[in-house]
Amino acid sequence: MSTGDQHLETQLLDLREMAKQRGCEIAEYPDVISGTKSKRPGLDQLLADARRHRFDVVFVVAFDRIARNVRHFLDVLDELNHLGIEFVSKRENVDTSGPLGRAMLTIIGAISDLERSLIVERVRAGMRRAKLEGRRIGRAPLHFDRQQVVADRRSGMSLTEVAKQYHVSRATVCRLTNEARGLKSHAGNQEKAVPLTETGNSQVAA
Annotated catalytic residue: which of 2, 97, 155, 202?
2
> Is residue 2 among the annotated active site residues?
yes
Could you give the CA distance from residue 95 to residue 86 in angstroms, rounded to a whole number?
A: 7
The two beta strands, 94-95 and 86-89, are antiparallel
Task: Decide if pLDDT at 164 tops 80.
Answer: yes
**Average pLDDT of the residues in 21-34:** 77
Of 65, 53, 55, 54, the closest CA to residue 90 belongs to 65
Task: Decide if pLDDT at 80 tops 80.
Answer: yes
Task: Decide if pLDDT at 49 tops 90.
Answer: yes
Residue 98 DSSP symbol: S
Kindly list the structural domains of the chain, giving each domain's residue range(s) and its CATH number in brackets, ordered by start.
8-114 (3.40.50.1390), 146-192 (no CATH)
